[in-house]
Structure formats: structure tokens, C-alpha cells
Amino acid sequence: SSCPLHPVNMYTSLLSAARANPFGMPQYGRPASKEEAPVAPAQPLSRTSIAAAPKDWDSRTAGAVVHDNSYYFKCMIAGVLSCGLTHTAVCPLDVVKCNMQVNPAKYKGLVSGMRLMIAEEGAMSVWKGWGPTLIGYSMQGFCKFGFYEVFKDLYANALGYDTFTANKGVVWLAASASAEFF
């Protein structure tokens, strides 16, 4: 286990890197109350610290923008626009690249290959497959962007304020992985 690539060492270094995330989110602040004593520094996540979190804090309302269904939907539409449109915009490059892989003697470069395709097959030939590309990547962006926000709030609320703030990187990593899965 002294090897840095050993799974135990990789996990602890990844976990350490996630906890030391420099991109802290100050908007996840605990609301101050008059009765509340100063909060002790949060302890790092451990097997015994994950329990039912007290419901005195909600990550969906902790920031400047309330995370409601409208917010999640806007994130999903942003995913459609950013993933679907950008992947569709580069579709001609992908078509020429595929032709270069199939017939490297004929298609020697990206620009010359595009010119050759347009000259031989017409201007629309470089847009082969744009429809499935638009639909597929739009669906991926819809789910990835929207569900990331949903899972981030879900996991933050499940852990509670103290555990969440001590392990933001781990929560964001888990939310990203969960959104990627769906």
C-alpha cells in the first residue's frame, strides 16, 4: 500500500483534494439566529458523522437564488443550449474527421477534406448526422446540468450544514457523478 496508485492511497488523495477545493461557495451560509451559540468548526466526513441531519438549514434557500423547480428547469435549458448547440455546431468537423479516418488517402486534412466533401457531395454533406447529434447532446445536457443541481441540494440537505460545509468538494463530486449516471 506504499504505492501511490494503490486504490487506498488514490482514494485518500482524491478525498483530500476534494476537501481542499479552492472554489468554496460563500453563499452556503448558515442563517444566524439569536439563540444559537457560535458553531464549532465542522469535523471532516467520517462513517459515524452521516446521520439524519437536523432540519434547521436548507441549501435550496441558503444562496442568493432560491433553488426551486423554476431554477432547476433553467439549469436544464442551459444544458440543452450549451451541449446540444455546441456539439451540433462542430458536427461538420466531426463528419470530415470520420471521413479522414475511413479514407486517409483521399481526405488529407480538415480544411482540404471539407472543401473536397462540399465539392463532391454538396454543402449539406458536412451536416450529416446533425439531427441525432442535436437531440442526443441536448438530452445529455438537460440531464447533466439540471440533475447536478438537484443532487447537489439533495446531498447537502441530507448531510446538514456542518458536514456539507466541511465536505463541499465531496458533495459536488457525488452530485456530478450522480448527474452523469442519469
| Positive or negative torsion for Cα 103, 108, 111, 112 | negative
C-alpha to C-alpha distance for 29 and 64, rounded to whole angstroms: 10
For residue 182, pLDDT over 60 is answered with yes
Q: How confident is the model at residue 44 (pLDDT cuts 50, 70, 90)?
A: low
Q: How confident is the model at residue 74 (pLDDT cuts 50, 70, 90)?
A: very high
Residue 48 has a pLDDT of 46
Instruction: Average the pLDDT over each of 28-32, 98-102, 138-142 and give the range with the smallest value.
Output: 28-32
CB 100 within 8 A of CB 126: no
Between helix 130-159 and helix 168-181 the angle, nearest 10°, is 140
Residue 56 has a pLDDT of 78
What's the grid cell of residue 39?
Answer: 458553531
Residue 63 has a pLDDT of 86
Instruction: Average the pLDDT over each of 40-54, 64-78, 135-149 and give the range with the smallest value.
Output: 40-54
Residue 2 has a pLDDT of 59
For residue 135, pLDDT over 60 is answered with yes
Tell me, what DSSP letter sits at residue 160?
-
Summary mean pLDDT of the chain? 82
